[in-house]
Amino acid sequence: MTDTEASTAEKPWPVRTVARKIGDWIHRLGAVWVEGQVTQVSSRPNTQTAFLTLRDPSADVSMSVTCPNWLIREMEPPLREGASVVVHAKPSFFFGRGTISLRADQIRAVGIGELLARIERLKKLLTAEGLFSAQRKRPIPFLPKGVGLITGRASAAERDVLANAQGRWPHVRIKVLNTAVQGSQAVPQVMRALRIFDADPEIDVIVIARGGGSVEDLLPFSDEALCRAVSAAGTPVVSAIGHEPDTPLLDYVADLRCSTPTDAGKRIVPDLREETERVRQMRDRGRRALHGWVDTQTRLLNQIRSRPALADPLGPVQRRQDDVDVHRERARRAMLTLLAKDQAEIASARARLTALGPAATLARGYAVVQFVDAEGNLQVLRSVSEVEAGAQLRVRVGDGAIGAVAEGAKE
């Protein structure tokens, strides 16, 4: 089988053929400039070759680098782990081990000015994307049920946060995850701890704390990947990096920026003594306000009660009742007067009728004589001469009637 034949399951290439083809392709590559962070330096005095490990601080990717030993010895300042460098190297493939490395002929330390310029460019990019906007920042809970602290192991920052937070609120629950806070492992470890706390339902706020340091020491906290991870977190994040003048990009993207770890311990929880005093003051103010309101209402009630309508509520009713009694008596007297007058008129009319009526005459012993005239009408006899001969007479005495018939009688 030749190298030009295609590889199949029936006719596979041997390992040496694959290694040689990979090596041929890699060796055709030219030299490149590579930027990374030094995680390991191996330079022995009696050897000609030094070995480095370069790591991408934003990803879990690293490569081996070889270079002449004198190149390491002549660097000023001396190369140390955690330093950011730019390497001019050519990729090399080791046929026997099947590994790739970079063969460097130049190593340049990234200066402070270059680091600051890169941070500034990244700051402008993240600002344009809105990661620093005040509208997206979440409020810190007044009294978090749990606090997640990401900091270095046994560091002064950890002691400051714990001492100040527990001194202000003794019952605060703080979970601590220790990570690297400088060097090549800082960014991935901090991001891993951030994911753990963000997924914990008992954590209401996350604090990332570190003490002061140089620009290179604080460089991981201006890493783009870490800034984006903090921006994407669902839990509010507090940045407490370095001292007051230190402003890594994490300060801008975090929901709350604290000048120092001590300041973070004071701002993530309220002060128990201050809150107790505030509650006492509010209680006193409430008591005074309530007493004032009660006094005001009492005065209003007294003023209302002092009004005549409420001071003697039955008085108007009694006066109206007296008026009703007076008018009723007047009406009664008027009615009695009217009845008496009418009764007198009726009695007078009755007396006149009685005096003029025949009944009164008959009661005195007189009789009423009636006769039938020639036309057959019944007439009252006023004189005897009026009775014709042969007329029929009828006599009424009192209430009874005695009929008498006289044929032309003359009495």
pLDDT tens by residue, 237-273: 999 998 877 788 999 999 999 989 999 999 999 999 9
Statement: residue 98 has pLDDT above 70: yes
Render pLDDT for 38-57 as a digit per residue (tens, 0 to 9). Answer: 888 888 888 888 888 888 87
**Helix 186-198 and helix 224-232: axis angle, to 10°?**
0
Contacts for 86 with CB less than 8 Å, ≥ 6 apart: 33, 34, 35, 107, 108, 110
Q: What is the pLDDT of residues 319-351, one digit of tens each?
A: 888 889 899 999 999 999 999 999 999 999 888
Contacts of 162 (CB under 8 A, 6+ apart): 149, 174, 176, 265
Q: Which of 108, 116, 105 is nearest to 76 (CA)?
A: 108
Instruction: Give me the pLDDT at residue 122, please.
Output: 87
Return the pLDDT at 389: 56
Instruction: Report the alpha-carbon distance of residue 373 to residue 381 in Å, rounded.
Output: 10
Which pair of structure tokens corresponds to residue 85? 């460098």
SS3 304: helix
pLDDT tens digits along 115-150: 777 788 888 999 999 999 989 899 999 999 899 999
- Is it the case that residue 230 has pLDDT exceeding 90? yes
- In this prediction, residue 385 carries a pLDDT of 63
pLDDT higher than 70, residue 407: no
DSSP for 48-67, please give it. SEEEEEEEETTTTEEEEEEE
Q: Which residue has the higher pLDDT, 280 or 58?
A: 280
Q: Report cis status (omega within 30 of 0) of the bond before 77.
A: yes
Helix locations, 169-271, DSSP H:
186-198, 224-232, 249-253, 261-267
> 367 Cβ partners below 8 Å, 6+ apart?
395, 396, 397
Q: What is the pLDDT of residue 312?
A: 77
Q: What is the percent of the chain with per-residue pLDDT over 90, rounded to a whole number?
A: 36
% of the chain with per-residue pLDDT over 70? 89
pLDDT band at 219 (very low <50, low <70, confident <90, very high): confident
Instruction: Among 144-153, 305-314, 379-388, name the most confident range.
Output: 144-153
Average pLDDT, the chain: 83
Q: Domains of the chain, with CATH numbers?
A: 15-110 (2.40.50.140), 131-270 (3.40.50.261), 367-406 (no CATH)
Amino acid letter, 55: R
Backbone angles phi and psi of 74, in degrees to 5: -85, 0
> Residue 308: pLDDT above 80?
no
Please enumerate, as own/partner, the contacts of 123-127 that have beta carbons within 8 Å and a separation of 24 or more. 123/249, 123/252, 126/224, 126/227, 126/249, 126/252, 126/253, 127/252
Asked if 236 and 205 touch (Cβ cutoff 8 Å), the reply is: yes
| Maximum average pLDDT range among 114-118, 282-286, 368-372 | 282-286
Residue 390 has pLDDT above 60, yes or no: no
Number of other CB atoms surrounding residue 89 within 10 Å: 22
- The DSSP symbol for 222 reads G
Report how far apart the first and last C-alpha atoms of the chain are (Å, whole number).
198
